[in-house]
Chain A
Amino acid sequence: EIVMTQSPATLSVSPGERATLSCRASQHIGNNLAWYQQKPGQAPRLLIYGTSRRATDTPGRFSGSGSGTEFTLTISSLQSEDFAVYYCHQYNNWPSTAFGGGTKVEIK
């Protein structure tokens, strides 16, 4: 079973600043990693897949990087609508799959 660990649990950032979120896999997962954004009361929304590919309608300020076991989601200049919880998701050993515990990005 692959375990996904996200850090930090909470990230306090001022609007306009850069946010860097980390995700670590317990085993190598190649580039089979996605990131989702979730706002209160809503279903998650796909942002990034294949480590660095933006999903349709994902703004350019979101970027993903990494490979193997270490991955990063960067939001270059936080906008008010970006304050939310972000989850990483590995799908390398499909059909089994796993999410990280989430990082809450809050206003500083």
Chain B
Amino acid sequence: QVHLVQSGAEVKKPGSSVKVSCKASGGTFTMHEFSWVRQAPGQGLEWMGGIIPMFGTPNHAQRFQGRITISADESTSTAYMELTNLTSDDTAVYYCASPATGTTHRKFDYWGQGTLVTVSS
């Protein structure tokens, strides 16, 4: 069983950056995958990207190309998502999510509690 705890809510100005953290407990950190999924107010779920700490190389959805950095720190069992050049369209709840290990099904068994990022001047 993996427990994911995310950092707190953020209020940012347009054009600035935000970095959200996701601390994992339970299981072996490097064997897990961590994805970032966001949800704008009243909207659906949108996959942003992910990382497998064991391999280190992140991937992301094309629409975030140039603006997103996903990383992981094994020493603190924490995954990070940084989004730059924020606009009001980036106002959303950001979730980290992770599949269970030991299966080929890459569904999201575990979710963080969500981090609300509000972009406003």
Contact = CB atoms under 8 A, between A and B. Distances in A.
Contact of A102 (B45, B59, B95, B109): B45
Interface string A26-52: 000000101010100001111001100
State which size class the interface on B falls in.
20 to 34
Contacts, number: 61
A44 B111 contact: yes
Contact of A91 (B37, B46, B95, B107): B107
Given A43-B113, A43-B114, A44-B45, A96 B61 contact: yes
A99 interface: yes
Interface in A41-79: 43-46, 49-50, 53, 55
A97 B35 contact: yes
Interface of A: 1, 32, 34, 36, 38, 43-46, 49-50, 53, 55, 87, 89, 91, 94-102
